[in-house]
Structure 1
Amino acid sequence: MGYGRSDSYRVATTQDKDEKESPKKKAGKDMDDLKKEVPITEHKMSVEEVCRKYSTDIVQGLTNAKAAEYLIRDGPNALTPPPTTPEWVKFCRQLFGGFSILLWIGAILCFLAYAIQAATEDEPAGDNLYLGIVLSAVVIITGCFSYFQEAKSSKIMESFKNMVPQQALVIREGEKMQINAEQVVAGDLVEVKGGDRIPADLRIVSSHGCKVDNSSLTGESEPQTRSPDGTHDNPLETRNIAFFSTNCVEGTARGIVVCTGDRTVMGRIATLTSGLETGKTPIAKEIEHFIQIITGVAVFLGMSFFVLSIVLGYSWLEAVIFLIGIIVANVPEGLLATVTVCLTLTAKRMARKNCLVKNLEAVETLGSTSTICSDKTGTLTQNRMTVAHMWFDNQIHEADTTEDQSGCSFDKSSTTWVSLARIAALCNRAVFKAGQDALPILKRDVAGDASESALLKCIELSCGSVKAMREKNKKVAEIPFNSTNKYQLSIHENDDENDNRYLLVMKGAPERILDRSSTIMLQGKEQPMDDEMKEAFQNSYQELGGLGERVLGFCHVFLPEDKYPKGFAFDTDDVNFETDNLCFVGLMSMIDPPRAAVPDAVGKCRSAGIKVIMVTGDHPITAKAIAKGVGIISEGNETVEDIAARLNIPISQVNPRDAKACVIHGTDLKDLDQGAMDDILKNHTEIVFARTSPQQKLIIVEGCQRQGAIVAVTGDGVNDSPALKKADIGVAMGISGSDVSKQAADMILLDDNFASIVTGVEEGRLIFDNLKKSIAYTLTSNIPEITPFLFFILVNIPLPLGTITILCIDLGTDMVPAISLAYEAAESDIMKRQPRNPQRDKLVNERLISIAYGQIGMIQALGGFFAYFVIMAENGFLPSELVGIRLNWDDRSNNDLEDSYGQQWTYEQRKIVEFTCHTAFFVSIVVVQWADVIICKTRRNSVFQQGMKLADVYRLSTKCVAVHNFSFCPHLPSWWFCAFPYSFLIFVYDEIRKLILRRNPGGQITHMLCMKISSRTSTFEIIICQSNQNDLMNNSLVLLVSLLLSSTSLQAGWKERPTIRLAKHHFLLNVPPLSSSFSPPSLLTRQHALYKKMTSHPSSSQPASPTRNTKTNRTNETGEGRGVQLFVRVLCPPFYFFYSKSLQHLTASNTVVLHRCVWTAMEKGEGPTVPRPSLSQQNHKGATPVSTPVHTGVSTAVSNSRFCFKKSSTIICTLNWVEKKVTPPHAFFSACVVVVF
C-alpha cells in the first residue's frame, strides 16, 4: 500500500521567461511570495489614479491595440494548470511503495533461490518458485485494491477551472462587447450584473445596489455590498474590490480589471494549493518504521546464518540458499493485505458515521490528531442565522436556538411582542420556497438573505403563517435596505377593517432606528423616548452586540388618515411621506448558533488531549462568543481583553501569559513574525483566530506543525483549500463545501458536523490499537516459522516445516483472525488518553517484538517441535537419531536409511514422513494461534473481563475449517492434541502476565512484560498534612503545590490537574481547588493519613508513623494508561521522615540531583523570597538546614526541571528548609514527593 498523500504540483508562475533561476529555487521563492498577503493596492487609489496606472478610460475603456499588447505581456486570463501525474505512475506508487517493497524483495529472492537450485540440482524443489509467485500475486492484488480505493487528489485544479466564467462583458473604445473571459486583460472596463460571475479582480468605479457572494473566498455567509468607496485597508474586506470567480447576486457594477489569471486572489490560492507539498502520513511512517525493523531482523539473521553455514562446512551456494530462506521466512506475507483490509473496513465504518475517507491512510491520521483547526460557520454552527434574543418591554428575552426547538421560550402574549413580530414579518422580503409545507419550518429553504430568513422562520414558529399575515396587510410601497440609509421601510394596508390608516414599518441599524423614533412601546402603550429609556436601549444593544450577535432595531407608525387617505400614491424615490417621529418597538438579535452536539464534542477533544483552535473569517466578537458557547474557550478562562476589563486597566498593562485564552485578529496576525506566532501557540491553550485570510490559515497550520502537532483542518470554502492541503489531514464539508475544498481534503464530513470529527478521531485511535493487536498476532507465528529452518541448518535435522505450509498459515489460517481484530470494540479510556506521540508511540516497537518473538512465539515454536518429534518418534526416528541426519535424509540415492530401531526407509517413504511432520507442525501453529488471537484481544484486561463474542468463535472456527481443507494426512486428528498443552500454556502465561501488569503498574516487571505504553492518562489527589504552625502554608505550601501542579502535570501529560486536600492533625479537611480550571478527577489516588499530634520540641520528637490505606490508581484498560501514585506530606517538627517501602531503593544522590535542578531554576525567577532548602546527603537525616533567600519563580522552575521526571523510575524530591524568624530546628519540615511512572 502506498503512502503518498497526494500529487506534487509545479507552482505556476508569471515571471518573465528570460529570467534565469533554478526551478527548485524559483518554486520555493514563488511559494513564499504566495504565502504573503494579497498585493493589491488599487483599493487605496482614486479612480483617476487607477485609470492612469492601467492607461484606460473610465468611459471608453481600453483600446483594442492596448488590450492586445497587455494580453501578450500578461498572458490569458486563466489559471495555469500544473503537470498531472499519469495514472500508471500512481498505480506504480501503490505497487512499489511502503510495505509492498518488502514483499517484492522477498519474491525476487525466492526466484533467485529457485534459479540457483535449478542450476545446481537435477530435480529442484518448487517451493521457492511457488512462494515467489504467491508473493508477487499478493502485492499486485493488494496494489490494485489500494489504487482503486485511493484514487483522489489529482483534480484540484479542475475544480478551480469550473469556477472560471466563460464570457465577460467589456467596454473597449466605447463599445460594449461580449468576449471570452480568457481574453480579459488588466485595465479592461468590465460590467457585471446580478447572476454574473466576476471575470477578474475588479476595482469598482460605479455601482447600483451591487452585492457579491464572497463566501467561497472569505467565509462571509451574507452577500457583501460593492461600491466605489474604499472602506478598509485590507483588500479582502474593502467594498471597492470584486474578486475573480465570485458571484454577483444582485445589482449592477462597473470596474477596472486590476489582476488576471494567476495574479488574482483566487489564482494565488489555486497556485498555492496545488503547489504545496505534504509529508507522509503518520501510518505511512509507522509502516516504514516497521519495514526497517523487519528488514533489520531478517538481514541480521540471514547474514549471521550465512556466515555460520560457511563455518559449518556448507558450500557457498547452500549458504546463499539458507540466507535467502531466512530472509523470506521473516517476511509476513499476509500482513500487507491485513493492514489494507483493516483500514478499508474502518473507512466503511466511518462512512456510516458521516465521515467519508478519501485516503485510507487518513483513517489513522485522524486518530493521531493533537490539534484541530476548525472553521466556524457550518462546522461548529448550524449554518443558519437564527433569532437568539429580543429586547422589548425593557427586558431581554431569549429565543429558542436549538436545532430541535427543545430550548427555552418566552412570553408571546405581550402586545409589544405582537407588534414587534408584525414588523419583522411585514418589513421582510424573504419567502419560503414552494412545495415545502410538509417540512419542519427550520428545515425549509428560503429565498432571501440570511438575516431576513432568520426573522421569517422565527415569526413563522411563534405567530403562525407569515404568508397569511402579509395577505391581510398588503404592501403598497417599499424602500429596500441600502448602505447609505441603513434601514428598510415598507408601507402596508391595515388588517383592521375599521381602521383605514396605513401602517409604516421599518427595520435597520438600531442607532438609525432610534434616531427616527420619538416614542417607545412599553406594555403595549406608547411612551416618550426619554433619557432613561435611551440608556436602557444602549445597555441592551451593547450587551447583545457583546454576545457576537447581529442586532436590528424595529419601529412603526400608523400614518394619519387625513394626510394619507386610502389610495394615496406613495413615492419611494422622492419620498412624500413621514419617516421620522416613529414608535420604537424593540430589538431582535441574530446569530448562527452552535450545533447541539458540538460542546460535548469539544469536551471530548479536551479530555482526549486534543487542542481545538477556531480559525474563521468572521468578526472577533462573534467568533469569541461562539467559542465560549461551544467550549473552545472554557468557562472561567479569560482573554487579555477580559482581564483588562475586569481590572479596569489598559490592555497594554496585561501580561499575555496571564491569559490562557486569546482572540487574534487577522490584521494583528499579519504583523507577527514566526517567533511571536510560535509563542502564541505554545503559551495559550484556547485560541481563536478571526478575520483570517487564506494565507493566514496556512500560516496557522504550519505554526502548529512546527510545534510537533498532528493537525486536522476543517473548511468548506476555496479560501480553506491551502490549509486543507497542508494539514496532516484536511476535512471538508460535504453539504456546504465547495468542490475545491473537497478535492484538497483527505476526508469529507457528510453532515458538516464537528461532532463527526470526534467520532472519526475515536475510530482512528481504535484502528491504531487494533492494527497493533493484529500485527502482534501476525508476527507471533514468524518464530515457529523461522525456527524450523534454523534447526534445519544448525542441527542438520529434516526440515520440520515447508514453505507451502508457511504460505497456508500466513495467507490462509491467519488472515481472517488478523482482519477480525479490526472489529474489536474500543476500550473505555480511548478518548481519555493524550494523543499518540509519533516519535515515541510506535505501531511496532521493541516491546511488541519482545512479546511476539521472545515470549509467545517461543512457546508456539516449542509446541510445533513437540508435534514434530512425536511424529518422528512414532515412525522410528528418536530425537537423538535425527541430529545430523539431514544430508542422508535428503539424498535421493539413499534408499536404505535406518531409523532408531534398524528399519530401513526409502527416499519416498522418508518424504511422506517429512510431509506428515510439515502438516502436524502446521496444525500445531494453528492450535497455538487460537490462544494467540484470544490473548491479543486485550493488552492488560483479562479475557474474562473483556468477554468473548460470536465473532471470536467465528475466527476460531474459520481456522479449523481452513486447517481441515489444507491438510490431507492420515491420523491427523490425533496429532491435533500435541499442541493443546502449549496453547493452554500461552493462555495461562498471558493471563498471569496481564495480572502482574494490573497489580504492578509502572514497575520494572511491568516495563519488561508490556508493550510500550502509547499514551498517558491519570488523575490524582494531593493530601497535605500540616501542624498548627500557621505560617507553614504561607511560606512553603503554595510553592510546593504550584511546583507539583505545573511540573508533574505538564511532564506526564495528565489531562486533569489534581484536587488539593488538607489534613490538619487527625482530621481531613476538604480544600477547594486552587483554580476554577481544575477539574474533579474521575480516579483518585487517595492517601488517607492519620498523624499523632506532634510536639514542638525536637528533643521529644519521634518519627511519625502514619498509618495509611493505599489504593493504587490503575487504568482499567489494556495497556493504554499507567498507574500513578503521588504522595505529598508536610511533616513537623524537625527530622520527621515519611517512611514507605517504595522509597527504600532510592539513594540520596537521586534526591540531591533533583534538589539542585529545581532550586537552581528557582533562583532565576522573581517573587517573594523563601529560605533555600538544605541538601540532605545522609539518607535524609541529620542535615543542617541553611537559610538562604531565593526567588520562587515557579514557571521558570517548571520549564527547567521537567527532565527530572523520567519514565519507569521513582523519584523522591525532599525539600528541607527553615522559616525565617524561627530558631531551627523547631519549624524545620520535610516535604516528600514521590511520583511512580
Structure 2
Amino acid sequence: MEAHQPKQQDILKEFSADAGKGLSTDEARKRLEEHGPNEISSGRRISPLMILLHQFKSPVVYLLLLAMGLSMFFKEWLDAVAIAVVILLNAVIGFIMEFQAERSMEALQKMTSQTARVLRDGRVQEIPSGEIVPGDIMLLDAGDMVQADGRILESMDLQSDESALTGESLPVDKLPGELAVDTQLAERTNMVYKGTFIRNGNGKVLCTATGMDTELGHIAHMVAGAKKSATPLEKKLESFSKRLIGITVGIVVLIFAAGLLNKEPVLEMLKTSIALAVAAIPEGLPVVATLALARGMIRMARQNVIVKKLSAVETLGATTVICTDKTGTLTENRMEVTDALLPAAEWHKKEKSPDDETFRCLQLVAVLCNNASLDGEKGIGDPIEVSLLNFAADTGADVAQIREKFHKLKEAPFNSDTRVMGTLHKGEEKGEEKYLVSAKGAIENLLDICTHALHDGSPKELGEEERDKWMRETEKLAASGLKTLGYAYREMTYQADQFMENLVFLGITGFMDPPRHGVQEVIAECHQAGIRVIMLTGDHPATAAHIAYQLGISKDEKDVVTGKDLSNESDAWAQRTVFARVSPKQKLDLVNALQEDHQIVAMTGDGVNDAPALKKADIGIAMGIRGTQVSQEVADMVLKDDAFESIVMAVRQGRVIFTNIRRFIIFLLSCNLSELLVIGLVATAGLPFQLAAIQILFINLITDVFPAMALGFTEGDQTVMQRKPLDPRQPIISKKAWGVIWFYAAVIGASALGAAFTAEYFREGDIDVHAANNVMFYTLILSQLLHALNMKEGKEKYIGGPVMRNPYLVGAMLLSAAVTLLCLFIPPVKEALRLEMIPQLDWLLVAGFSVAGMLVIRLGSAIFNRD
C-alpha cells in the first residue's frame, strides 16, 4: 500500500503509531534494529590506482606496448624509450585530468547527516537523523530539511521545496488527507520526502520510510545501478586499432616474403619488417588525443564549463540528443508578469500601460499586498511578490512613494484554507484619513469575497455570469502555461476588524519564468547541427509546452506528454520532445531508450531526481549555481552559469576536438602507410636503395610527434556546427576515408620514389646507392611535413582555413625540418642514420617532388571531397 493512499487512522494503525505520544524508546530501539539506520548506503569509491590503471586500458596503448617489446627484443633502444615515454606521458596527463572520482553516494550521505525533532515517550526529543524509524512522529518547521519520508498528520501553512526531488520550481502546499493510488510523486500533497526543505509553516508527520526505502534511497539504488557504456571515441579507436593491426600484419608479411624472394638476408628483412610494423602504428595517437582533450577541458573551463573527464570532451562533439530541464537552463529562473486582464482593458508585456483607473488600482494592490522588497535588479522575498513589484515599477508606478503614502495596519496572511492574502492600510487624501484594503490570491477563492468589479473607475455589481467569465479567462491563461493570480481592493472611511469582505474585483495577471536571452537562437543552431533537443521538467504540462513552443523545441504548442501518461513502451515515446511531471525512473528509461536507438545523449539536471539519468547518459551535465551536490558529483561536466548556451559552446568545442582527432589520425596513417608502400615496392623490385630500419623509425618520430600534435590544436570555424553529427555506429575512419588515405600514401610514396629515380637519372656513372637513399629519405620527410597542410575537413577553406591559420603547425613543421637538417652536422647521428651531404640538384629534386605531391593531393582532395 502506498503511504499517500489510506486514510489517516488506517496508516497510523498500519505503523502502530500514536499521533499524540509517538513511539516509546524501547519500541524505537527495536525498529531501528529491524529497519537499520536512516542512512543512504555509500557506493564504492574509485581509488587513485584504478584511475591510473584505466589510462592504460586502450587498444592503441596495447599496440604500443607490443611495439615497445619488439623494439627491445631487437635492441632498438632509442625507439623503445621513445614509445615508453609516449605511453607514460599519456597516462600521466589522463590521470591528472580525471583524478576527480565520482562521489555521488557520499554526497547523498552528507545531505542527511543532521538532527530531527520527534515525539518519543509523549515528549519532544531531538535525535540524530540516522535514528529515525518508521512510525516516528516527526515535527517540522520552516527551514528544516526533511530527514525521512512521511505522511502529513497536521499542518499549518506548510510548504515544501521539492525542486531537488521532483523538479517543481515553486514550493508546494502540504495538507493532510488521502490521495488516489496513482497520484504522481510531484502531486502528492499529503507527503513530505527525505532531502527536501520546509520553506513555510509547520507540521506533524508520520514517518513512513527511512534510509534506502525512501524516495531518495530509490534514486540512490538507480544511481548505483546506472552503468556508463564506453564512450564513442573508445569504441571507434578499438575498431580502428583492430583494422590497423590487420592491414599492418598483411603488408609486413608481403614485404618480408618479397625480401626473401629477392634473396635479402633473413635477419635484415626481419628487422626491417619489425621496424615497419612499429612505423605503421601511430604511437603519437594516444598522447596527441589526450593533449587535445586536455586542452579542450582547459578552454571550456575558461567559458564556465568544468569537464571532469577527458572522454566527456569528445563525447560532447558526438552528441545527437540534448535532454535539458527548463527552469534556470532554458529560462531565467525568476517569475515575471506577462499579462494583465481587467474588466475593461488588458495589458501584455512590452506594451504601453493602459490609461485606465482599474490598471492604476491593480498597480496599487500589487505594491501594497506584498511583503517583498526591491534591492537593485534583484528582489528580496517571495518570487511572485518580487515580480509584482517589478511589474508595478516597469509600468510606471512609484513603489517607494506608494508604500510611504499607505501605512500597513493589519495583514491577513495567505494560508492553505483561504488561499488569499489581504492587507489593511491607512493613508491620507485631501487632508482626510483613508483606509484601503488590498488583496490577492487564487481566483476562485478571491471571487468568493468580492461583491463588485471595477469598470471604468466605478464599482459594478459582480454577477454569476461575470464570475464564470473570469474563471474561463483564468483557465485560458493557465492553458497557455501561465501561473495566475487575482486582485481586489476596497476603500473605507473607518478601520474595521473584519476587512476581508465585500471587496471590489480588479482583474487577473499571468506569470511566467521567461526564456533566457539568446536560447532560441542557440536551439536553432542545435537543429542546424542535427542535434535534437528534448525538454524534461517537473513543471506543469501547459507551462512546459508553451515554453518549448516559444523556444522552437517543438512545433506544436500542445506537444507534451506527462509522466502519468507514459506507457512501458519507452521506444514509442523516445520520439517526443516535451515531457512534464516525469519521475527519476522515467528519465532513466528515456535515456536508455535513446541509447538503444544508437543516440549519443547529453542530459542536464540539477536535482537529486536527475542523478540516475545524469550518470547513465553519455554525457551528464549538472548545474553549478542551483545544482545539488549529488547531481554535480555524478555528472561528467558542470555548468558554472547554468546556461544552455554553455552546453552548445561545449558541443562545438567537442566537435572541433573530434575533427582534430580524425585530422591527425588521417595524417598519421597516410604518412605511415606511405613508408610501407615505399619499402614494399623497393623490396619487391629488389632495388638497392632500401631504407634502413633506423631511418624508418626516425621518419616516424619526426612526423608523428610535432606536426600531429600541432594538428590537434587546430581551431574550428563556423562550418563545425553546420554538419550533422557522425553516426555513432560508423567507424572513426570510414571506407571512403580509408580510400583517400591510401591515395595520400600512394602520392607521398610516389613522390619519394620519383625523386630517388630522377636523382639517379641525372647522375653520371654508377648508381650512387647512398645518394638515392638520402634523396628518398629527405623527400619522404618533407612530403609528410607539407602533407600536414592538406588536413582540411569537410567544408573548411584551404587558403585561410583553420589548418593554414594554425601557428603551432607552422612552428612544428619548421622545428621538424630543423631537427632533420641538424642531424647532418652531428657525426654520431649522421653515421647512425647513414646520411651524407647531397648536392644542390638533389635538394631541388627533394623540394620539387615534395611540393608536386602536395599539389596532386590538393587536386585529388578537391575532386574526391573527402568526408
Cross-structure match for 1:208: 156
Query: Separation in 2 of the partners of 1:47 and 1:134?
Result: 75
Query: Separation in 1 of the partners of 2:856 and 2:818?
Result: 27
Report the CA distance shift for 1:784/1:987 in structure 2 as closer, same or farther (over 3 A).
closer
CA contact under 8 A between 1:784 and 1:864: conserved in structure 2?
A: no
CA contact under 8 A between 1:44 and 1:230: conserved in structure 2?
A: yes
Shift of 1:826: 4.2
- 1:628-647 equivalences in 2 (<5 Å): 628-634=549-555, 637=556, 639=558
CA contact under 8 A between 1:940 and 1:994: conserved in structure 2?
A: no
Other structure's SS at 1:82 match: coil
Cross-structure match for 1:341: 291
Identify the match of residue 492 of structure 2 among 537, 559, 573. Answer: 559
Question: Does 1:94 find its partner at 2:15?
Answer: no
Identify the match of residue 541 of structure 1 among 474, 479, 500. Answer: 474
Shift of 1:953: 4.5
Identify the match of residue 291 of structure 1 among 231, 237, 241. Answer: 241
Cross-structure match for 2:608: 718
Superposed CA deviations along residues 501-559 of structure 1, whole A, max 9, x for unmatched, are 22111000112222222222233333333466445534432332221101100111112
Other structure's SS at 2:65 match: helix
Question: Does 1:681 find its partner at 2:574?
Answer: yes
Query: Separation in 1 of the partners of 2:705 and 2:271?
Result: 28
CA contact under 8 A between 2:176 and 2:190: conserved in structure 1?
A: yes
- 1:241-320 equivalences in 2 (<5 Å): 241-306=191-256
Normalised TM-score (structure 1): 0.65
Superposed CA deviations along residues 1021-1062 of structure 1, whole A, max 9, x for unmatched, are xxxxxxxxxxxxxxxxxxxxxxxxxxxxxxxxxxxxxxxxxx
Shift of 1:395: 2.8
CA contact under 8 A between 1:694 and 1:720: conserved in structure 2?
A: yes
Question: Does 1:848 find its partner at 2:737?
Answer: yes
Cross-structure match for 2:542: 621
Identify the match of residue 417 of structure 1 among 343, 352, 359. Answer: 359
Equivalent residue letter for 2:554? I
Query: Separation in 2 of the partners of 1:196 and 1:376?
Result: 27
Shift of 1:392: 2.4
Query: Separation in 2 of the partners of 1:213 and 1:180?
Result: 22
Other structure's SS at 1:557 match: strand
Identify the match of residue 699 of structure 1 among 586, 589, 594. Answer: 589
Report the CA distance shift for 1:525/1:73 in structure 2 as closer, same or farther (over 3 A).
same
Shift of 1:45: 1.7
Question: Does 1:767 find its partner at 2:728?
Answer: no
Equivalent residue letter for 2:751? G
Equivalent residue letter for 1:104? L
- 1:1217-1236 equivalences in 2 (<5 Å): none
Query: Separation in 2 of the partners of 1:780 and 1:382?
Result: 50
Equivalent residue letter for 2:31? Y
Report the CA distance shift for 1:330/1:606 in structure 2 as closer, same or farther (over 3 A).
same
- 1:432-511 equivalences in 2 (<5 Å): 432=374, 436-437=375-376, 441=377, 444=378, 446-463=379-396, 466-496=399-429, 498-511=431-444
Query: Separation in 2 of the partners of 1:760 and 1:808?
Result: 38
Identify the match of residue 526 of structure 1 among 435, 459, 468. Answer: 459
Query: Separation in 2 of the partners of 1:260 and 1:103?
Result: 52
Equivalent residue letter for 1:297? I
Equivalent residue letter for 2:551? V
Query: Separation in 2 of the partners of 1:56 and 1:877?
Result: 111
Report the CA distance shift for 1:972/1:320 in structure 2 as closer, same or farther (over 3 A).
closer
- 1:1178-1189 equivalences in 2 (<5 Å): none
Identify the match of residue 331 of structure 1 among 281, 286, 300. Answer: 281
Query: Separation in 1 of the partners of 2:623 and 2:852?
Result: 52
Other structure's SS at 1:44 match: coil
Normalised TM-score (structure 2): 0.92
Equivalent residue letter for 1:681? A
Equivalent residue letter for 2:734? N
Unaligned runs of 5+ in 2: 831-835
Query: Separation in 1 of the partners of 2:224 and 2:708?
Result: 39
Shift of 1:485: 0.3
Cross-structure match for 1:196: 144
Query: Separation in 1 of the partners of 2:268 and 2:587?
Result: 61
Question: Does 1:833 find its partner at 2:717?
Answer: no
Shift of 1:608: 2.6
RMSD: 2.9
Superposed CA deviations along residues 118-167 of structure 1, whole A, max 9, x for unmatched, are xxxxxxxxxx1211111011111111101111233421112212211321
Shift of 1:715: 1.2
Equivalent residue letter for 1:863? S
CA contact under 8 A between 1:394 and 1:536: conserved in structure 2?
A: no
Cross-structure match for 2:560: 663
Cross-structure match for 2:533: 612
- Pairs aligned (count): 853
Unaligned runs of 5+ in 1: 1-39, 115-127, 400-407, 565-569, 571-575, 640-661, 883-912, 997-1008, 1014-1237
Equivalent residue letter for 2:51? K
Cross-structure match for 1:751: 641
CA contact under 8 A between 1:694 and 1:723: conserved in structure 2?
A: yes
Identify the match of residue 127 of structure 2 among 160, 168, 179. Answer: 179
Query: Separation in 2 of the partners of 1:839 and 1:255?
Result: 52
Other structure's SS at 1:42 match: coil
Report the CA distance shift for 1:940/1:627 in structure 2 as closer, same or farther (over 3 A).
closer
Report the CA distance shift for 1:202/1:967 in structure 2 as closer, same or farther (over 3 A).
farther
Question: Does 1:862 find its partner at 2:744?
Answer: no
Shift of 1:375: 0.9
Cross-structure match for 2:833: none
Superposed CA deviations along residues 869-917 of structure 1, whole A, max 9, x for unmatched, are 67889999955x85xxxxxxxxxxxxxxxxxxxxxxxxxxxxxx5xx87
Shift of 1:698: 0.9
- 1:576-975 equivalences in 2 (<5 Å): 576-634=497-555, 637=556, 639=558, 662-669=559-566, 672-674=567-569, 677-682=570-575, 687-787=577-677, 789-790=679-680, 800-802=690-692, 805-806=695-696, 808-824=698-714, 826=716, 828-840=718-730, 842-852=731-741, 854-865=742-753, 878-879=766-767, 921-939=776-794, 943-944=798-799, 946=801, 948-949=804-805, 951=807, 953-968=810-825, 971=837, 974=840, 975=842
Question: Does 1:157 find its partner at 2:52?
Answer: no
Other structure's SS at 2:310 match: coil
Other structure's SS at 1:723 match: helix
Tell which structure's C-alpha radius of gyration is larger.
Answer: 1
Which has the higher mean CA deviation after the structures are superposed, 486-495 or 137-146?
A: 486-495
Query: Separation in 1 of the partners of 2:787 and 2:31?
Result: 74
Shift of 1:860: 2.0
Query: Separation in 2 of the partners of 1:71 and 1:560?
Result: 63
CA contact under 8 A between 2:347 and 2:354: conserved in structure 1?
A: no
Equivalent residue letter for 1:180? P
Report the CA distance shift for 1:761/1:940 in structure 2 as closer, same or farther (over 3 A).
closer
Report the CA distance shift for 1:789/1:953 in structure 2 as closer, same or farther (over 3 A).
closer
Query: Separation in 2 of the partners of 1:939 and 1:226?
Result: 57
Cross-structure match for 1:1043: none
Query: Separation in 2 of the partners of 1:500 and 1:780?
Result: 92
Q: Which has the higher contact order (CA 8 A, sep 6+)?
A: 2
Report the CA distance shift for 1:946/1:137 in structure 2 as closer, same or farther (over 3 A).
closer
Equivalent residue letter for 1:989? V
Superposed CA deviations along residues 677-729 of structure 1, whole A, max 9, x for unmatched, are 323334xxx53111111111111111222222222211111111111111111
Question: Does 1:983 find its partner at 2:840?
Answer: no
Query: Separation in 2 of the partners of 1:877 and 1:864?
Result: 22
CA contact under 8 A between 1:79 and 1:267: conserved in structure 2?
A: yes
